[in-house]
């Protein structure tokens, strides 16, 4: 027992130090590309930390969204930035670029910023150490009401029943980000995707598998780790892979059909909220007997929308405009 | 500990050795092509050995299947991506290392 | 009819209606202007309905999902939320009418969904009583506001939007950190429960520090105002109006609410610091406004100064309780009306002459009389001349200051008014004279002129409405916890 | 000190590193990375402290962190798009401090 707990301390200590080291390197290593790769590694290590903290649902979300999708977004943005530099034709030298990538404010400013940040770190650390060593939070309240929630995975119960209103607004944030990006009117990247037979084959093989995994995560979310966000991001990853392989949505589907897919999750959520309001006088109050069905409908439509939105975030420009220019 | 436990440990250790060797190769090899070579050894063989070691401890055939699936997926993704990286490097004109 | 008013769940309508409107505008962009105006009218009527309900029944509680706090999320409305919702709907309606004439087709297709998301976020923020839910509404608010700034597309607007986005995200994360500490101390996210249990401890101090820092950054109190002028001045004018009038006020509202519910019992002494920052904001903002050469930049710096006024109430409330809070709310809503009108007037000048350089304004008083009148009326309220809403607010604030013998603050209140008069007359002076370089002009749609003028008149009209508004503000006695605590102290 | 507190302290470290990097870096991509690491730090504090119990860990922070991760990726995607737009218009992925002064 003693040895085991020592081993645990060793593992957790290594993860903690590894996280801090990766974060430090990602933020301060001179090359941006390296920084992004380190950030992705950081996300993967975060996933391990979540597993150690007994939060497998969060680990799944982190690996799919935090490390995977954010990493893909960062890398593709980095590549586009480099393309701008190349297209400007002023021959931005490698050296210049590296200089701009690690440019910081004046050294005086470093000290000016470091002092309050250090003070804050000490204060926060002290504040956390002062917390009582035992606290259960809301776990008993969740456990007592779990039967009435329609699902047996407590995290899903919180996300889609007890605090479903948060989730409604969160899907709104996701949709809003996409609408915001579309209104920036970014030109689609001029570079044609280089069609590669191996990548194409990989996409063909993985897409059905990702579909399957996504459906599994969606289904399993009711009683074990998983749920709409994890399923949606896996499905969205399939979309990203297809985009990378050079596949584009046919124009006939890029207008209203795509838009409907993007909003169906949020719209269903609102519709259910209003129906429950009319029926039971309370927003998003599901009758316990039908709660599991309602949650399943909400999660399925949310998965579709989340996947579509995430893939569209990756594409960046509006698909119904891209072909015209 | 039974015989299968000892075998498990053996496979896991062997897998770890491959990972270690792959990592050393990644850090020490001279160019991108040889580094890819080192990396795939860790991924393919190392992970394969670890999967075998874990499969011996698995409680059901379903989890053995899942473990195998993980290995196959890593094989698929690893080989495709190594191919893409090597191809890009060739396109960009990265020279192969010669003694 | 009366029954209908009292049975509809207005608060829920206020959140869901604009959200549905945003989705519909996104799906069918053909008739966005009509769809948007109908939504705004609906929101306005819902606020009236909620007001009627509150007058009849006192405060409004709604346990979302039927789950009571601490497990579930509560919606909560009292007089303070009602007044904020009301001013949002009113300003929103006028800005929307203005926007239908201001934007061309493509721009309005982009504007409407984002603006309706912003409205959803504002309403949801004013109605929420749950700390984490408030964080989500803050993110919704920040992202939609930044996307709106970026619509203008130029170098300045994009830079302003980015600076705003970084400040806004930093503010949200600071807020969330504070929420995390509070949750792990008390095991609840509900404001009412937290307010009952809160006690001073190092953890709580850190939590409150983080939350205040995040909200002060979003409210742009000096010296955290660096992001505001570039963002507000470079956005399209109706959007500047929304940002200056409503978005900044939303984070101020939240700070005020948390101050009243959580901070006051344990950190009364920080009030003095907020007061000092308020004074510096008034002086710095006004002086910067005086230095500006473009109308919109001047108006944006004037916002920095006016935000300072809102924070003078914090040290004064120690001795003057309700009077100080009434004063500050009155100032907040008068500023919302006046500043929205002023940005709309500035938009008219820009449309008319193609520029907003103060020195080159060319006989506008003769050529755009309604716009100049709107600018002047809004100015009257900002300076605090009778009989405007700004006058009532400053009068109450002065009263609170003099009651406690805070002559220093009284001087600043008056001085801020004088400085405001100086920078506003700088614009008006040039509006009456002929410029040395006449510029080509474009006609300004009548709707844009009238929308600005009517809102500016509203700011004046507020000066007569105090007997109507102060009782509304008192529903559910949002400032009461404060005055009772004060009695204990004295 | 328990595992919960260990991870909470790591979270604080990540948060503070992020704040510092956000302030001193000029390149926007770096600032966006910094915000993401700050976010991870906050999530870690939020979730780690939920483990101060012998029974089932509190699921509410886990749900909050999942919500937070989704909000963070939305904000990141938007920030990156805005950065690309700025870089397309001005030729640099930086904020221009000089022009305003």
Flag the least confident range among A191-195, B16-20, C118-122: A191-195
* Tens-place pLDDT, residues C378-401: 999 999 998 899 999 999 999 999
Select from D41, D44, D64 the residue whose CB has the most chain C CBs within 10 Å, as the one to mutate to test that interface: D64
pLDDT at position A321 over 70: no
Q: HEC states along chain C? A: CHHHHHHCCHHHHHHHHHHHHHHHHHHCHHHHHHHHHHHHHHHHHHHHHHHHHHHHHCCEEEEHHHCCCCCCCEEEECHHHHHHHHHHHHHHHHHHHHHHHHCCHHHHHHHHHHHHHHHHHHHHHHHECEHHHHHHHHHHHHHHHHHHHHCCCCHHHHHHHHHHHHHHHHHHHHHHHHHHHHHHHHCCCEHHHHHHHCCCCHHHHHHHHHHHHHHHHHHCCCCCCCCHHHHHHHCCHHHHHHHHHHHHHHHHHHHHHHHHHHHCCCCCCHHHHHHHHHHHHHHHHHHHHHHCCEHHHHHHHHHHHHHHHHHHHHHHHHHHHHHHHHHHHHHHHHHHHHHHHHHHHHHHHHHHHCCCEHHHCCCHHHHCHHHHHHHHHHHHHHHCCCCCHHHHHHHHHHHHHHHCCCHHHHHHHHHHHHHHHHHHHHHHHHHHCCCCCCCCCCCCCHHHHHHHHHHHHHHHHHHHCHHHHHHHHCCCCCCHHHHHHHHHHC
Lowest mean pLDDT among A121-135, A193-207, C161-175, C350-364: A193-207
Q: What is the pLDDT of residue A324?
A: 41
**Cα angle vertex C202, ends C198, C203, to 5°?**
65
Does the pLDDT of residue B33 top 90, yes or no? no
Per-residue pLDDT, A322: 46
Residue A209: list chain B partners with CB under 8 A.
Answer: 73
Interatomic CA distance for residues A178 and C247, integer angstroms:
21
> Is the model's pLDDT at A136 over the cut of 80?
no
State the pLDDT confidence band at A4, using cuts at 50, 70 and 90: low
For chains C and D, count residue pairs whose Cβ atoms are closer than 8 Å.
77
- pLDDT band of A154, cuts 50, 70, 90: very high
Please state, rounded to an integer, the average pLDDT across all residues of chain A.
87
Option in A9, A26, A61 nearest D66 (CB): A61
Cα distances (angstroms) measured from residue C214 to each of C115, C119, C132, C178, C255: 23, 21, 14, 9, 10
Report chain C residues whose CB lies below 8 A from the CB of A280: 66
Chains with at least 3 CB pairs less than 8 angstroms from chain B: A
- Answer yes or no: is pLDDT of A70 > 70: yes
Closest chain B residue to the Cα of A200, Cα to Cα: B80
- Nearest chain D Cα distance for residue A325, angstroms: 16
Mean pLDDT over residues A68-92, rounded?
A: 80
Which residues are bridge partners to C128 per DSSP?
C75
Question: Is C158 a residue whose pLDDT tops 80?
Answer: yes
The pLDDT of residue A109 is 79
Average of per-residue pLDDT values in chain C: 91
Residue C292 has pLDDT above 70, yes or no: yes
Q: Do D65 and A137 touch (CB under 8 A)?
A: no
Looking up tokens 């993980």, which residue turns up?
B70
Chains B and C touch (3+ CB pairs under 8 A): no
Q: Is A212 on the interface with B (CB under 8 A)?
A: no
Closest chain C residue by Cα to residue A173 = C140
- pLDDT score for C486: 46
C74-103 confidence digits (pLDDT tens): 999 999 999 999 999 999 999 999 999 999
Residues of D in contact with C143 (CB under 8 A): 74-75, 78
Report pLDDT for D1: 61
D82:C173 CB<8 A: no
pLDDT band at C488 (very low <50, low <70, confident <90, very high): very low
Domains within chain D, CATH numbers bracketed: 3-90 (1.10.287.3510)
**Chains A and B touch each other (3 or more Cβ pairs < 8 A):** yes
Q: Do A141 and C139 touch (CB under 8 A)?
A: no
pLDDT at A99: 64
Q: What is the pLDDT of residues C186-203, one digit of tens each?
A: 999 999 999 888 888 889
Residue C266 confidence (pLDDT)? 67
Pick the residue from chain D with its C-alpha nearest to C140.
D71
List the single residue in B76, B83, B87 with the smallest CB-CB distance to A205. B76
Question: Do C132 and D64 count as a contact with CB atoms less than 8 A apart?
Answer: yes
Q: Kindly provide the ipTM of the predicted complex, given to two decimals.
A: 0.94
Task: Tell me if chain B has a CB within 8 Å of the CB of A209.
Answer: yes
According to the model, what pLDDT value does residue A191 have?
55
Please state, in angstroms and rounded to a whole number, the distance separating the CA atoms of residues C91 and C250. 13
What is the pLDDT confidence band of residue C489, given thresholds at 50, 70 and 90? very low
The pLDDT tens digits of the residues spanning B52-86 come to 999 988 888 888 998 998 898 888 888 888 888 88
């Amino acid at each position: 027992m003693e040895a085991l707990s020592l081993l645990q301390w060793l593992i957790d200590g290594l993860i903690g130090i590894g996280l801090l080291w990766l974060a430090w390197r990602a933020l301060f290593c001179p090359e941006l590309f390296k920084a992004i790769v380190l950030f992705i590694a950081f996300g993967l290590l975060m996933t391990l930390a979540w597993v150690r903290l007994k939060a497998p649902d969060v680990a799944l979300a982190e690996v799919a969204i935090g490390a995977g999708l954010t990493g893909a977004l960062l890398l593709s943005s980095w590549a586009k930035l480099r393309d701008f530099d190349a297209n400007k034709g002023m021959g931005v030298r490698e050296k210049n670029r590296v200089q701009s990538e690690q440019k910081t404010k004046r050294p005086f400013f470093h000290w000016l910023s470091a002092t309050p940040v250090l003070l804050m770190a000490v204060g926060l650390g002290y504040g956390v150490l002062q917390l009582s060593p035992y606290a259960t939070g809301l776990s008993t309240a969740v456990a007592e009401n779990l039967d009435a929630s329609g699902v047996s995975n407590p995290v899903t119960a919180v996300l889609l029943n007890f605090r479903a209103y948060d989730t409604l607004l969160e899907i709104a944030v996701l949709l809003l980000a996409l609408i915001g990006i579309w209104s920036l009117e970014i030109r689609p990247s001029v570079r044609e995707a280089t069609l590669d037979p191996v990548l194409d084959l990989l996409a063909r093989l993985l897409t059905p598998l990702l579909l399957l995994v996504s459906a599994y995560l969606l289904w399993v979310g009711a009683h074990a780790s998983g749920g709409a966000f994890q399923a949606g991001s896996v499905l969205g990853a399939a979309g990203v892979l297809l985009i990378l392989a050079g596949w584009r949505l046919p124009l006939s589907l890029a207008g209203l059909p795509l838009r409907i897919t993007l909003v169906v999750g949020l719209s269903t959520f609102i519709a259910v909220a209003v129906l429950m309001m009319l029926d039971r006088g309370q927003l998003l109050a599901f009758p316990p007997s039908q709660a599991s069905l309602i949650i399943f409908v909400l999660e399925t439509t949310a998965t579709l929308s989340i996947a579509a939105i995430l893939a569209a975030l990756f594409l960046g420009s509006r698909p119904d405009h891209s072909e015209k220019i | 500990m039974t015989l299968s436990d000892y075998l498990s440990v053996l496979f896991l250790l062997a897998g770890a050795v491959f990972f270690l060797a792959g990592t050393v190769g990644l850090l020490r090899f001279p160019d991108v092509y040889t580094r890819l070579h080192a990396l795939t050894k860790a991924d393919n063989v190392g992970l394969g050995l670890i999967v075998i070691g874990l499969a011996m401890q698995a409680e059901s055939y379903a989890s053995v299947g899942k473990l195998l699936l993980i290995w196959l997926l890593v094989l698929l993704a690893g080989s495709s991506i190594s191919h893409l990286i090597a191809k890009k490097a060739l396109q960009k004109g990265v020279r192969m290392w010669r003694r | 009819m009366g029954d209908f008013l009292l049975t509809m769940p207005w608060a829920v309508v206020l959140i869901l209606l604009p959200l549905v409107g945003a989705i519909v505008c996104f799906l069918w962009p053909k008739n966005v202007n009509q769809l948007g105006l109908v939504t705004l009218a609906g929101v306005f009527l819902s606020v009236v309905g909620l007001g009627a309900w509150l007058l009849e029944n006192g405060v409004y509680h709604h346990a979302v999902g039927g789950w009571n706090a601490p497990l579930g999320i509560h919606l909560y409305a009292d007089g303070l939320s009602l007044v904020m919702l009301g001013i949002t709907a009113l300003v929103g309606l006028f800005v929307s009418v203005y926007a239908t004439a201001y934007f061309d087709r493509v721009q309005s297709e982009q504007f409407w969904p984002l603006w309706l998301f912003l409205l959803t976020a504002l309403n949801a923020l004013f109605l929420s009583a749950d700390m984490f839910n408030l964080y989500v509404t803050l993110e919704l608010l920040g992202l939609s506001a930044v996307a709106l700034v970026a619509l203008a597309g130029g170098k300045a607007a994009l830079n302003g939007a980015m600076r705003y986005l970084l400040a806004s995200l930093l503010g949200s994360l600071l807020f969330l950190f504070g929420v995390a500490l509070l949750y792990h101390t008390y095991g609840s996210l509900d404001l009412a429960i937290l307010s009952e249990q809160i006690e001073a401890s190092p953890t709580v101090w850190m939590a409150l520090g983080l939350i205040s820092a995040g909200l002060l950054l979003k409210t742009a109190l000096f010296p955290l105002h660096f992001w505001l002028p570039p963002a507000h001045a470079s956005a399209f004018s109706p959007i500047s109006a929304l940002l200056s009038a409503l978005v900044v006020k939303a984070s101020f509202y939240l700070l005020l609410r948390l101050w009243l519910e959580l901070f006051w019992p344990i950190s009364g002494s920080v009030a003095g610091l907020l007061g000092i920052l308020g004074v510096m904001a008034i002086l710095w903002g006004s002086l910067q406004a005086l230095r500006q050469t473009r109308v919109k930049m001047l108006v944006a710096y004037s916002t920095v100064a006016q935000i300072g006024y809102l924070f003078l109430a914090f040290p004064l409330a120690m001795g003057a309780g309700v009077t100080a809070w009434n004063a500050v709310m009155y100032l907040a809503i008068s500023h919302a009306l006046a500043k929205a009108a002023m940005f709309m007037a500035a938009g008219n000048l820009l449309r008319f002459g193609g520029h907003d350089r103060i020195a080159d304004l060319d006989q506008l008083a003769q050529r755009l009389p309604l716009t100049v009148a709107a600018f002047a009326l809004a100015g009257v309220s900002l300076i605090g001349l009778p009989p405007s809403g700004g006058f009532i607010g400053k009068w109450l604030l002065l009263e609170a200051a003099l009651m406690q013998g805070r002559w220093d603050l009284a001087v600043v209140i008056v001085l801020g008014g004088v400085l405001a008069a100086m920078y506003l007359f700088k614009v008006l002076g040039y509006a009456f004279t002929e410029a040395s370089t006449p510029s080509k002009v474009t006609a300004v749609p009548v709707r844009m002129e009238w929308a600005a003028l009517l809102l500016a008149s509203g700011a004046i009209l507020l000066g007569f409405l105090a007997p109507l508004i102060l009782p509304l503000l008192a529903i559910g006695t949002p400032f009461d916890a404060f005055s009772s605590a004060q009695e204990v102290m004295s | 000190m328990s595992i919960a507190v260990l991870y909470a302290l790591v979270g604080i470290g990540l948060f503070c590193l992020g704040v510092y990097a956000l302030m001193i870096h000029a390149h926007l991509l770096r600032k966006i990375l910094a915000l993401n690491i700050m976010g991870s730090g906050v999530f870690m504090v939020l979730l780690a402290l939920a483990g101060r119990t012998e029974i089932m860990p509190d699921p509410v922070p886990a749900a909050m962190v999942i919500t937070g991760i989704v909000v963070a990726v939305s904000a990141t995607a938007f920030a990156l798009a805005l950065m690309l737009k700025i870089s397309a218009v001005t030729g640099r992925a930086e904020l221009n401090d000089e022009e305003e002064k």
